[in-house]
Structure 1
């Protein structure tokens, strides 16, 4: 019977046996009772299940085709329509496919009580019969609502002393269900609850591949930052940075000057400033870095680098103004993280707190090694040498004296 077929395929999907579910469905379609002209909704549901299996095994094109067939057969099959909409989203915004809605995974009478405004304690009591393993599995297969409820229940159980939930919560954080932004938010909840530590490396799925991040109140990764530059302008920026790294500063200056004139982009101004810093023209470099921050007051690299000018000449109050609030930035590229933590480390050293300075730098050491950014980090370690800072304070005071008025 079709009902038995649905139960068999559903069970295989829940066990994570998508290939076996597809094979079973193929065999079912050759049974003598198979007749898609009857019980249309049931046959459409089986096509939806097949689409889920294809999507979870990487055949997105076939999954889309089957969802479209299911909707042609039964236009009111919401779960198929919702999955089709989700799979069309950019990879980082996808939830991940799901076979069933929350109301088909948890008794509706429980959900009705929860929806009627029961207290948190009552919600926990209502769902107590659900095992941790079952909640984990429905989160791995669920839509956004299912994931939110399941993770909340597991987190409350952890806070109530159920340590069995800790590895489950971490596995869900690193899993593929739920979009990147939601995983990101969930990591903060786990950090606050003590499930994970600030030093724990986490592999966060971005919709296409795992991204190694570190949760420090910030999430640190190496995902490219959004840019307003065109592809051609990005290519020119890359050319300028290559020239800078290879020591051809005049070439880098020419390209960056043109980019600044064309785009008035904060990162272009910031990199242009770096070329003057490299050649020892600190006054010009500071003037250009101020321009970068003026163009985009939220430009983190610019604010950190401008703060460094003030730190070097002993004006820690102005440096603090520029750095204020930046440690609350939720998501940082690894280069931003090193620059931000480095600036705070040098500021701490300038104020005599070497322990905090070294702790800040140590906290990003592993990430710097993972992403080949140890040279950048070492630059800040060198600056944390207080006698060295003292040596340069007078020099920067003289060289940059007029820069404040630019």
Structure 2
């Protein structure tokens, strides 16, 4: 069966192992090999069944522990690996001449994956003491010297143990012409053709993202990103929400999943720098297109009024907006800016009347929702504010001014909840999308002195 594996003939390798088991059902080598063959063939459920069968086998062979640990490592049964290691210890097979360095390595991987880093380090050091040339153990220990957010470790096997040489050769044959053309769509089509030819790779992508070595994880990320199928996007989402691999790779996976609609825009809980953090994912399209149906003179007055508000010249803004409202009395943008002018002048009740009117008449209008949410925040009605803002997070397209209001409302929401890290994340996202916005610097100052109180539109009160 190993010869068939080397030739990339997985079906024949599986059939050979099954024939052995037909007359020797407790053959540990055949069971372990069959588990691996099924796993790397994409038949993960069947592999898990064989691994469970292997667990129950008793044998006097000294390599029974290693063969069990290998099979369980392929299917990701970390506790099972440690149970096997403990059984080997009870049997006295962790001492010379029976001690196996690879068994120590696999136990280290399982321990690390279960959060037992100190124990994992001890096992890897013992593996290297037994076999100084065991490169996979040395590579894992070396990886642990990196900052926590840059680590790939732990991984049980190197990339060639997961993917056949034929699959690798075919990858180049399918994708190289597409890369030479330099067209993203061509690469996507070629990758999808490759996955149709090698369906096992699609099943391996989640496994490699979870427990592959650096090369394997990079391979899986590139395949999933290039293919862009629902199955691959789901694999990237699951990887993004896990604790495996470097932060940068998981953040990239999260971005792709968010753009595919599999993660919400806005804050998402991701494992970063060794702890769970609220991370903002930017998956919005921003534009600055004017309203084509608005009277040109009204549009001009609105622009001038907006600039006046930026200068904090509320009286001039009010004059211009009222002129415009005489021509088009029901334009939401005019009313919204008039409310902002009133608030800047301290005319809070008049501003609130306009905000409520806008929300009643135009419930999907971004400024109406953010304005109502900010009113709720100013009154301590945090749950109500959250409910108002939540529907906006599913939007994919904002005018730059809408996006600013959207971000400001969330900054205020998180400040009210004393979650300054989340507030700063929203500010950073806003700044990355619209770095020249006049209010960015002001909000950075406000976050530096978070005890101040701010009105519904962000003006100090």
TM-score (normalised: structure 1): 0.52
The answer to whether 1:145 aligns with 2:220 is no
Deviation per residue, 1:96-143 (Å, 9 max, x gap):
311111111111332244367843555554453216443212210112
Shift of 1:22: 0.9
Q: CA, structure 1 residues 313+201, in 2 after alignment: closer, same or farther (shift >3 Å)?
A: closer
The answer to whether 1:179 aligns with 2:274 is no
Counterpart in the other structure of 2:328: none
The answer to whether 1:10 aligns with 2:70 is yes
1:97 alignment partner, SS class: coil
Q: How far apart in 1 are the matches of 2:261 and 2:216?
A: 21
Which of the numbers 101, 121, 126 marks the counterpart of 1:44? 101
Shift of 1:35: 7.2
Q: CA, structure 1 residues 65+164, in 2 after alignment: closer, same or farther (shift >3 Å)?
A: same
Shift of 1:151: 2.3
Q: CA, structure 1 residues 93+34, in 2 after alignment: closer, same or farther (shift >3 Å)?
A: closer
Which of the numbers 403, 411, 418 marks the counterpart of 1:359? 403
Which of the numbers 213, 230, 234 marks the counterpart of 1:163? 230
- Structure 1 or 2, whichever has the larger Rg, is 2
Q: How far apart in 1 are the matches of 2:95 and 2:174?
A: 44
1:382 alignment partner, SS class: coil
Shift of 1:186: 3.5
Q: CA, structure 1 residues 209+6, in 2 after alignment: closer, same or farther (shift >3 Å)?
A: same
Map 1:4-403 to 2 at 5 A: 4-31=64-91, 36-37=96-97, 43-114=100-171, 118-119=175-176, 120=187, 124-127=192-195, 128-130=198-200, 132-157=202-227, 159=228, 162-191=229-258, 194-196=260-262, 199-216=265-282, 311-312=310-311, 356-363=400-407, 365-366=409-410, 368-369=413-414, 372-373=419-420, 379=454, 382-383=457-458
Deviation per residue, 1:56-78 (Å, 9 max, x gap):
12221221111111112222222
Contact 1:96 1:179 in 2 (8 A): no
Deviation per residue, 1:251-295 (Å, 9 max, x gap):
xxxxxxxxxxxxxxxxxxxxxxxxxxxxxxxxxxxxxxxxxxxxx
Q: CA, structure 1 residues 175+381, in 2 after alignment: closer, same or farther (shift >3 Å)?
A: same
Shift of 1:92: 1.7
Q: How far apart in 2 are the matches of 1:14 and 1:366?
A: 44
TM-score (normalised: structure 2): 0.46
2:118 alignment partner, SS class: helix
Count the aligned residue pairs: 255
The alignment's C-alpha RMSD in Å is 4.1
Contact 2:255 2:283 in 1 (8 A): yes
**Uncovered stretches (5+) of structure 1, i.e. residues with no partner:** 219-307, 315-345, 347-352, 389-406
Counterpart in the other structure of 2:348: none
Q: CA, structure 1 residues 149+365, in 2 after alignment: closer, same or farther (shift >3 Å)?
A: farther
Q: CA, structure 1 residues 198+35, in 2 after alignment: closer, same or farther (shift >3 Å)?
A: closer
**Uncovered stretches (5+) of structure 2, i.e. residues with no partner:** 1-60, 177-186, 285-306, 314-339, 341-365, 368-398, 424-445
Deviation per residue, 1:142-173 (Å, 9 max, x gap):
1222122112222333x3xx323333221111
